[in-house]
Structure 1
């Protein structure tokens, strides 16, 4: 099978398409023929080791000191079950599925084995592979942080970085929950964020949300530019600051802030649940949640896709189409 392999850390050019052995599913695993995958900001950070302050050594210890321990990136996929292990009962050969491999990665390839009891779901009728593969990373992160914030209908929510994969998911899901959402993004993305349900939008190139005199019950920072010190004037007493992306110093400071300020800082990795995938798929099927797709690249152009993600200007999700590969 073909796979995109990174044998060292660095720019997009470290990625190479190689022929490697197709995996064989173990007893409780399914072999998935991948039709579509994504390039996420997490793939960029892992490949380049461009990580928030304080995490450089931790990332190397977890993912490989000198080179990636898992050379095949990618955490989202959609495709079909190509083979099953002898103990598999949840899925059948030929069934359409989508999955989130999370830190296991391995989705930038033609085939991948995953356990049947992992983050794998049947793809609902009517959903394309491109839509299904884009449900996982942004959608599960948004659901987890909004759940931890105990978001209530009628609350005012500001989303910093509202046009990315996580930001577009937060805008939609918070609006659906009855919140009044303000999205912060660039000039080019104002209309997009409005169309997703934001009641208000702020162009960060022209205004600083923290100096506008508005206050919010929940501030969601998806891009790492709104630590507590910046948000203090904009966060109401009892408010919650959700640091989806943050450096270690800000995360540690958040513990003290939560204990002493009357406001709560919520940070740390999102916990992924199979029920979240199920809920997102149902919402997508009914049209209540739609992952934003910016660009679709063929498998052979995955280096170009990484270059685009590296710019930090993608809107929602960048898809890699794998299905036409032999």
Structure 2
């Protein structure tokens, strides 16, 4: 069932060459949903890119897929399968599968399993800033860390080190971890120390000046869990703080690739994962947002026509939270 007339063409951000990070603004036809696959047509109000996403096509083969960028979106359901809990007119958000074209376009597709009703107290841009970061944090803590479910007493008093704590995922990890009763240690640059503390971190380390080997070698600084959000030297440094029998989770790079030479830790659990789009997990996050216990962090908002500035900000490495494209801005008449 369709509730609004559809335009002849729509705007879209296209990465035409998978071996190039160049993006262009093009026009395309409105995508056609397949109800048998649970697909919904969504009128996109805002979409958010992920740092590094323009390099993904060289690593993930998707034959025949046109590379439309941004897999995070918030918008309104235009049409839905008959048995869907999401009806035309519903306000939703989602992280959609990278295996399909993305959401930096006026209309996109999302499946029943990817969608969640958006939090009522968020703006459209805040909604689009939420799915990837929040779902990744949720799955890192409750699917991969192995400590306990949300609300479990097992988290109380646990020490958790979060690298890149001022970034999109890091900000959610700090907030949710604090809610669990864990003692959160975050790393960030000097300009974001007070910000990370405001999210709930009990200690914040300036990665530019901290000697992580010396800091992590002190018994009182040891942590039960490391969640690394940046890889490279940051991940290598984080190893020094881990307790015996601890857990280290990477979302950018497998942690065992960066274990320091000569550092032997008995019975450490090493995990690496790529988040799976999940409307179910996003719905759990929605409850926390509507209770104002957690909140997305928006770094900057750009129109779709300003995509070059948005991607420059994203790839600068200095974004605090998420870069978002507001598709309701500068819409041609």
TM-score range (shorter-chain normalised) is 0.7 to 0.9
- Superposition pairs of residues 96-115 of structure 1, within 5 angstroms: 96-103=91-98, 104-115=100-111
1:247 CA drift (Å):
5.2
1:291 aligns with 2:296: yes
Mean Cα displacement is larger for which, 68-77 or 296-305?
A: 68-77
Alpha-carbon distance in structure 2 between the residues aligned to 1:229 and 1:76? 30
Change (3 A) 1:241 1:226: farther
Match of 1:39 in 2: 49
Match of 1:53 in 2: none
Alpha-carbon distance in structure 2 between the residues aligned to 1:133 and 1:33? 13
Q: What are the Cα deviations for residues 97-144 of structure 1, in whole angstroms up to 9, with x where unaligned? A: 1111031351111101223x2211122322211122122111111111
Alpha-carbon distance in structure 2 between the residues aligned to 1:247 and 1:180? 24
Match of 2:77 in 1: 81
Of 24, 28, 32, the residue aligned with 1:16 is 24
SS in structure 1 opposite 2:280?
A: helix
Match of 2:3 in 1: none
Alpha-carbon distance in structure 1 between the residues aligned to 2:275 and 2:233? 18
Alpha-carbon distance in structure 2 between the residues aligned to 1:155 and 1:246? 24
Alpha-carbon distance in structure 2 between the residues aligned to 1:39 and 1:272? 15
- Paired residues in the alignment total 305
Alpha-carbon distance in structure 2 between the residues aligned to 1:92 and 1:233? 50
Alpha-carbon distance in structure 1 between the residues aligned to 2:109 and 2:232? 37
Match of 1:266 in 2: 271
Asked if 2 retains the 8 angstrom alpha-carbon contact of 1:44 and 1:306, the reply is no
TM-score, normalised to structure 2, is 0.84
Alpha-carbon distance in structure 2 between the residues aligned to 1:88 and 1:129? 26
1:216 aligns with 2:223: yes
Q: What are the Cα deviations for residues 3-45 of structure 1, in whole angstroms up to 9, with x where unaligned? A: 0111114665x21111111122223432100000112114243
SS in structure 2 opposite 1:121?
A: strand
Match of 1:310 in 2: 315
Of 11, 14, 20, the residue aligned with 1:5 is 14
Alpha-carbon distance in structure 1 between the residues aligned to 2:251 and 2:20? 24
SS in structure 2 opposite 1:261?
A: coil
Superposition RMSD in Å: 2.5
1:204 aligns with 2:207: yes
Change (3 A) 1:227 1:202: closer
Match of 2:150 in 1: none
SS in structure 1 opposite 2:86?
A: coil
Change (3 A) 1:246 1:108: same
SS in structure 1 opposite 2:285?
A: helix
1:227 CA drift (Å):
7.4
Match of 1:250 in 2: 257
Match of 2:172 in 1: 169
- Which structure is higher in RCO with an 8 Å CA cutoff and minimum separation 6? 1
Change (3 A) 1:299 1:227: closer
1:178 aligns with 2:188: no
Return 5+ residue gaps in structure 2 as ranges.
Answer: 1-9, 148-154
Asked if 1 retains the 8 angstrom alpha-carbon contact of 2:165 and 2:188, the reply is yes
Q: What are the Cα deviations for residues 183-222 of structure 1, in whole angstroms up to 9, with x where unaligned? A: 1000111111111000011111111333212211111110
Match of 1:157 in 2: 160
1:145 aligns with 2:140: yes
Change (3 A) 1:40 1:138: same
Asked if 1 retains the 8 angstrom alpha-carbon contact of 2:14 and 2:23, the reply is yes
Return 5+ residue gaps in structure 1 as ranges.
Answer: 50-58
Mean Cα displacement is larger for which, 32-41 or 240-249?
A: 240-249
Asked if 2 retains the 8 angstrom alpha-carbon contact of 1:155 and 1:217, the reply is yes
Match of 2:243 in 1: 236
1:224 CA drift (Å):
0.1
SS in structure 1 opposite 2:157?
A: coil
1:249 CA drift (Å):
6.7
1:270 CA drift (Å):
2.5
